[in-house]
Structure 1
Amino acid sequence: MNFDDTPQEAAFRASARAWIAANAPVELADELGRVPSGRFQLKNRDVVQVSCAWQKKKADAGWACLHWPKDYGGRGALPIERVIWQQEEGVFGRLGAIFAVGQGMCGPTLMTYATEEQKRGLLPKIASGEEIWCQLFSEPWGGSDLAGLRTRAERDGKSWIVNGQKIWTSGAQHAEYGILITRTDPAVPKHQGLTMFFLNMKSPGIEIRPIKQISGQSDFNEVYFTDVRIPDSQRLGAVGNGWNVSLTTLMNERMSIGATVATGFPELFALCCEIETEEGLAVDDPAVRSRLATWAARASGLTHTTYRAISALSRGERPGPENSIGKLVGGTMLQEIAAFAMDLRGAAGQLTDPEHPLGGQFPSMLFRAPAVRIAGGTDEILRNIIAERVLGLPGDIRVDKGVPFNKIPTKGR
């Protein structure tokens, strides 16, 4: 297998590299290289403003959402060009975290189900970072059972009235728009009575409450809906077909998370080449080398699984259940690597101050890991998906299958 660039790919890489060198916020390179995966804060800059400025600059020059059609704000690029761009953007790609939901999950859903007028009006602003989007799916009572949601939408002429609550909504406090899945018919089985919409997050009746995380940040939010009115024109897909619409979002979400999760392996390898143990450098310890080899193999597998998924997207295919593999492996790997690195450092591994030479990075990764393993489907859900839909194994017993939602016994309903 030849991984060398073709002449065309080399020319594309040179063009991307030159543009990044001339336009990237290089003064932030060192700080971005130290921040953990996921959303983060900058020491002396507003990360939202910096991220929006970088995304807008990329869009104006034709480097945003490369794989999207040109009419929707992209470049119509080849899959390999998308990979090359990600390689060259490097640490500056972390400034795209705040747009991950909009570009990786909401955008593909809009491309599939929105009207052409809506696509042309909404997608270019998502690509350019002018509008941040969120995904309103999870609920406090549902756990991992998305189809068990209770937020309801009731028809009122040419509009719908929404009441209920969502939770763990990433970036809702910054979002201008969101996609929302609701229950519109409780008298049919739970997967059949759902309908999807998109809505303006500044609509009357929406209340957003940030959730404080163990890291001290508030990336997630509770969102309350009280008589929120949504025009029927903002419905995505048919009434009652929301579950099928949501699958487009969920498959793209799992692919997006699996493709972008920073496993921490490069940082761990660098640490092992620097840190001294009682026997010498950590990397010279056979036990450490064995762990590194295992994680190196997994990291390589994740990389090439992502490339395969990108190639499938280029053929117009919807991300399939096999993309659950990347998120399942990546999230677990992040947690294992962070814990191992902290153990290697001993007492210094507990330091959380990013300004300290030994502090901050791996504890932040460890704090982030549980969220990665839950967002977009828990490990248990993903294992079921892989077992049933990839390997063809018998499905779990589901006692509520075919039962109308309002007839399912639930304590407290």
Structure 2
Amino acid sequence: MDFSRVDLSDDDRQFRDDVRALLRELVTEEVLRRDRETGDNFDEGVHLALGAAGYLEREWRPEADGGFSRVRRRIWEQEKRRFHVPWVTWGTTAMVARSVDRFATPEVRDEVLPRVFSGHVRMCLGYTEPEGGSDIATCKTRAVREDGSTWVINGAKMFTTGAHNCQYVFLITNTDPAAPKHQSLTMFLVPLDTPGIEIQGIRTVDGDRTNIVYYSDVRVDDRYRLGEVNGGWTVLREPLNAEHGAVAAADDGLADVSIMMHQAGFMADALDRVAGRVAETGPDGRRLLDDQSVAYRLGRSAARMEAALSTPSIFGRVAIAQAMRDISPDLMDIIGVASSLPLGTDGAADDGGAEYVYRFAPLVGIYGGTLEVFRNMIAQYALGLGKPKYAASQ
């Protein structure tokens, strides 16, 4: 891993300063307060402003097609995190847009992509089902061809985060129940204003909002099908790999080494706040940091975090989520009972940073697939240990 600093050109420094000025103007305390209250991880005003300024399209496109250079892409990603830009809905939109660009008809591409770049169209992921868990290939949501140009969809999807702020859902359906599960899937880009779709909000323990979405006799034109009938796994594989973090490392060192780095930023902020708090001199003239057990536990937490942030690919996805689970209780214990007060509460020991990470950590181990699933993937595909056997021993 290359830890060397990147020397910025004058133009790149100006780009960084321009990004900071724009984000400082857009991501106000009111935006952050509203995002905490709604749990949406999305702000339409900010999103539309970034679209109008061209940042969404430049982030999505490769440099050869007018996108950011590698250095500017890294600057952009880092500054978005520093300002805590509500980002999740753009993350799902960007993933789905790549499948739309590759598999949709020219008519649907022209309908969707320009408005994705302007910020007026957002897209969410319709994968998980109420009884399906992380194995999305066991899909039971049915799509039946009514005639040559219309499909009728019935079923339900869990954890469709951002659906209430989106215009389309990237929906996995079963079009041949008799076929093997990876050969029975067909993907659709379903307009969310279609009759028969009902979106119900769910709040998670960390305060985020996700959704369960019901599909009741939803009629979708065949032009919204992505890829071949029963060929949905091919369409799904690339965005699914991106969500899992199973992507190749960048040769230039200017990309995240694993997924979940945005979430890890909250952990880093919390640790910094706790470190600042224990270094303060109390009324008795002493610092918590002078207690060797406090210094040891804080140092251990920092070392675990740095190791997790440096771990690549799906290994890092596991390491970050596990580090958050391990570190957050220690941080709360170090600064005492006032650490249990949430962000914005009078008397919160560290402005609620460690408490938020404590509530957030279990969800980070579920988003995009559970840690158990990823550990099985590592065991099976990286270590060659074979498939797990869940049947009871005879």
| TM-score with structure 1 setting the length | 0.78
Does residue 373 of structure 2 align to residue 381 of structure 1? yes
The one-letter code matched in structure 1 to 2:6 is D
Deviation for aligned residue 1:77: 1.8
Aligned residue among 48, 57, 61 for 1:56: 48
Q: Is the 8 A contact 2:322 2:365 kept in 1?
A: yes
Residue of structure 2 in register with 1:250 after alignment: 240
Corresponding position: 1:40 with 2:36: yes
Segment of structure 1 superposing worse, 389-398 or 261-270: 389-398
Q: Which amino acid aligns with 1:194?
A: L
Range moving further from structure 2, 265-274 or 252-261: 252-261
> 2:280 matched to 1:281?
no
Residues 229-258 of structure 1: CA distance to partner in whole angstroms, max 9, x if unpaired?
A: 111111112111222322222211123852
Tell me, yes or no, if the aligned pair for 1:265 and 1:295 is still in contact at 8 Å: no
In the superposition, relative to structure 1, how do residues 271 and 7 fare at CA in structure 2: closer, same or farther (>3 Å)? closer
- Alignment RMSD, CA only? 3.3
Tell me which residue corresponds to 1:25: 25
Work out which of the residue numbers 175, 179, 201 in structure 1 matches 2:166.
175
- The within-5 A match list for 1:310-321 is none
In the alignment of these two chains, the number of paired residues is 371
Q: Does the Cα contact within 8 Å between 1:153 and 1:160 map onto a contact in 2? A: yes
In structure 2, give the amino acid aligned to 1:233. Answer: R
Q: Describe the SS at the equivalent of 1:214.
A: coil
Secondary structure of the residue that 2:187 maps to in structure 1? strand
Asked whether the equivalents of residues 175 and 184 of structure 2 are also in contact (C-alpha less than 8 Å), the reply is yes
In structure 2, relative to structure 1, the CA distance for the partners of 1:349 and 1:88 (3 Å cut) is: closer
Q: Which amino acid aligns with 2:37?
A: Q
- Contiguous gaps of at least 5 residues in structure 2: 246-257
Q: Does the residue aligned with 2:355 lie in a helix, a strand or coil?
A: helix
1:16 paired with 2:16, answer: yes
Deviation at 1:334, TM superposition (A): 2.2
Aligned partner letter, 2:5: D
Is 1:270 aligned with 2:273?
yes
Q: Which amino acid aligns with 1:241?
A: G
SS of alignment partner, residue 88 of structure 2: helix
Paired residue secondary structure (1:211) = strand
Inter-partner Cα distance in structure 2 for 1:368 and 1:222:
20
The yes-or-no answer on 1:350 pairing with 2:356 is no
Deviation, structure 1 residue 90: 4.3
Cα gap change, 1:361/1:273 in structure 2, threshold over 3 Å: closer, same or farther?
closer
Cα distance in 2 for partners of 1:395, 1:280 equals 55
**Corresponding position of 2:113:** 123
1:144 CA drift (Å): 2.1
Match of residue 132 from structure 2 = 142
Q: In structure 1, how many angstroms separate the alpha carbons of the residues matched to 2:121 and 2:269?
A: 33
How far residue 179 of structure 1 moved from its aligned partner, in angstroms, is 0.4
2:224 match = 234
Higher relative contact order (CA 8 A, sep 6+): 1
Q: How far apart are the structure 1 equivalents of 2:323 and 2:140?
A: 34
**Aligned residue runs from structure 1 range 201-220, under 5 A:** 201-215=192-206, 217=207, 219-220=209-210
* Corresponding letter in the other structure for 2:273: A
> 4+ runs of 1 displaced by more than 6 Å?
276-279
Q: In the aligned structure 1, how far is the partner of 2:189 from the partner of 2:27?
A: 37
Any conservation in 2 of the 1:269–1:292 contact (CA below 8 Å)? no
SS at match of 1:374: coil
Tell me: CA distance 1:117–1:350, structure 2 relative to 1, closer, same or farther (3 Å): same
**What one-letter code is carried by the residue in structure 2 that aligns with 1:101?**
T
Identity %: 32
Q: Unaligned stretches of 5+ in structure 1?
A: 306-321, 400-413
CA distance in 2, matches of 1:194, 1:173: 25
Q: Give the 3 Å change call, closer, same or farther, for CA 23–345 of structure 1 in structure 2.
A: closer
Equivalent residue for 1:411? none
**Which residue in the other structure is 2:71 paired with?**
80
Is the alpha carbon distance of 1:19 and 1:166 closer, same or farther for their aligned partners in structure 2, counting shifts above 3 Å?
Answer: closer
Spell out, residue by residue over 1:340-372, the C-alpha distance to the aligned partner (whole angstroms, 9 max, x if none). Answer: 222123221222252324153332322222222
Aligned residue in 2 for 1:193: 184
The answer to whether the Cα contact below 8 Å between 2:124 and 2:168 also exists between their aligned partners in 1 is yes
1:156 equivalent in alignment to 2:152: no
d(CA) in 2 for partners of 1:252, 1:139: 20
Contact 1:29-1:92 within 8 A present in 2 as well: no
Residue 11 of structure 2 aligns with an amino acid whose one-letter code is: A
Structure 1 pair 175–31 and aligned structure 2 pair: CA distance change class (3 A): closer
**Separation (CA, whole Å) in 2 of partners of 1:264 and 1:327:** 14
User: What is the DSSP-based 3-state SS (H/G/I as helix, E as strand, rest coil) of the residue aligned with 1:143?
Assistant: coil
In structure 2, the CA distance between the partners of 1:352 and 1:254, relative to structure 1 (3 Å rule), is same
Normalization by structure 2: what TM-score?
Answer: 0.82
1:233 partner SS: helix
- Contact persistence 1:62–1:75 (CA under 8 A): no
Between 358-367 and 231-240, report the one with greater CA deviation. Answer: 358-367
**Separation in 2, partners of 1:268, 1:397:** 39
Equivalent residue, structure 2, for 1:3: 4
Q: Which residue of 2 aligns with 1:106?
A: 96
The Cα of 1:285 is off from its aligned counterpart by 4.5
Q: For residue 31 of structure 1, report the CA deviation from its aligned partner.
A: 7.8
**Residue identity opposite 1:88 in structure 2:** E
